[in-house]
Amino acid sequence: MTTEYSGTGDPARSLALLWRTRERPHRKGRTDLTVDRIVHAAITLADTDGLPALSMRRVAEHLGVGTMSLYTHIPGKGELLDVMLDTVHGEPDPEPTPPDADWRARLAAIARNAWARYLRHPWLLQVATTRPPLGPHVIARYEHDLRAVDGLGLTDLEMDAVVTLVHGYVHGAVRGAVEAAQAARHTGMTDDQWWHAHAPYLEKVLDARRWPTAARVGAAAGQEYGAATDPTRAFTFGLDRILDGVTTLVAARRPTPPPNATDD
């Protein structure tokens, strides 16, 4: 599913754009064209048509300007993609974390907000970010996520690993939800419609004597989900299991309290 890689642009130019340390002056043409306008147009295009449709020419057409006008602000697609990634990480979370929430609730909210971000911008799944854009929003989010597990007795590397684990899980789990949404859009058939079209025939051909477990469990799941699977429910179940594992790690890192002194 990966079609692009972050960090392919010129490092100096990408960092200058990410941190807005240099807004290149307008040489000619429209004076209302800015890096922010270009980036938001590119995000809208990727959201609507997918990342393969993204090009400097398409962004220029969306803005109603000549392609060369974009190059007075952004050197190329590689730098543009880095700023797009950083920008979406700066969007407000739909589920703000209560300041008094415990670490488990905070990690769960982090995961659900990341899930929502992928659903808003499915093209994020097509970008390999092993070399992430080191912009202000990406770093601010990393800081925010690390604070959820700070002070639990974990080492710095374990804190980083926990945050990476949660985001890695979301990245893998959300694919099913994105693919389900895209399937409905491309086929014109919802999961519920698909299931009800196939279920009657499946009941006739599925030999419960040959595949007893699959027949029993599949029937129960299909009746409950109205589809072959429920990505959201699977995500919640898996997230709870991930957090159970982190709970075990945190408990192992906490010192064992001394036994209560007994009275003589």
Domains of the chain: 1-191 (1.10.357.10)
Strand partners, 128: 5
Looking at residue 31, its pLDDT comes to: 63
CA–CA distances in Å: residue 211 to residues 202, 214, 224: 13, 5, 20
pTM of the prediction?
A: 0.88
Looking at residue 142, its pLDDT comes to: 98
Looking at residue 84, its pLDDT comes to: 98
Cα-trace Rg, the chain: 24
* CA nearest neighbour of 67 among 29, 32, 36, 25: 29
pLDDT tens over the chain, length 264 residues: 678 999 999 999 999 999 998 755 555 555 689 999 999 999 999 999 999 999 999 999 999 999 999 999 999 999 999 999 999 999 999 998 877 899 999 999 999 999 999 999 999 999 999 999 999 999 999 999 999 999 999 999 999 999 999 999 999 999 989 988 888 888 888 877 887 888 788 778 878 889 899 888 988 888 888 777 899 999 999 999 999 999 999 999 887 666 775 554
CA–CA distances in Å: residue 177 to residues 1, 32, 150: 14, 38, 31
* CA nearest neighbour of 114 among 170, 152, 66, 71: 170
Looking at residue 23, its pLDDT comes to: 59
Looking at residue 170, its pLDDT comes to: 98
Which long-range CB contacts under 8 A does 104-109 form with residues at least 24 apart? 104/243, 104/246, 104/247, 106/147, 106/148, 107/148, 107/149, 107/162, 107/166, 107/243, 107/246, 108/239, 108/243
**Separation of alpha carbons 95 and 163, rounded Å:** 18
Looking at residue 109, its pLDDT comes to: 97
Task: For 123-151, give the DSSP string.
Answer: GGGGEE-SS----HHHHHHHHHHHHTTTT
Strands (E) located in 191-254: none
| Residue 200 · residue 262 · CB < 8 Å | no
CA–CA distances in Å: residue 203 to residues 58, 209, 214, 222: 49, 13, 12, 11
Looking at residue 225, its pLDDT comes to: 84
Looking at residue 44, its pLDDT comes to: 98
User: pLDDT tens, 232-250?
Assistant: 999 999 999 999 999 999 9
**Separation of alpha carbons 55 and 78, rounded Å:** 10
| Residue 84 · residue 37 · CB < 8 Å | no
Looking at residue 24, its pLDDT comes to: 55
Q: Tokens 């299991």 label which residue? A: 241
**Separation of alpha carbons 125 and 119, rounded Å:** 10
> Which uninterrupted H or E stretch holds 189?
none
Distance of CA 85 to the CA centre of its chain: 11
